[in-house]
Structure 1
C-alpha cells in the first residue's frame, strides 16, 4: 500500500471516531432531556 493511501485511511478512521463521539453525545443529551 502506498504511504498516501495509508494516511488517508488513518484520517478517515479518525473522522469516524469523531462522528461516533458526537452521535453518542447527542444520544445522551436526548435521553437526559
Structure 2
C-alpha cells in the first residue's frame, strides 16, 4: 500500500485547520 493517499488527506486536514485558525483570528476574507 502507498502512503500517498494518507499523506494527501493529512495535507488537506492541515490546510483546513490553518484556514479555520486564520478565519477565527482575522475573520472571513472578502
TM-score (structure 1 length as normaliser): 0.70
- The alignment covers a number of residue pairs equal to 27
What RMSD in Å do the two structures reach over aligned CA positions? 0.9
| Structure having greater relative contact order (Cα 8 Å, sep ≥ 6) | 2
Higher helix share: 1
Greater radius of gyration (CA): 1
Runs of 4+ in structure 1 displaced over 4 angstroms?
A: none
**Which runs of 5 or more structure 2 residues have no equivalent in the other structure?**
none
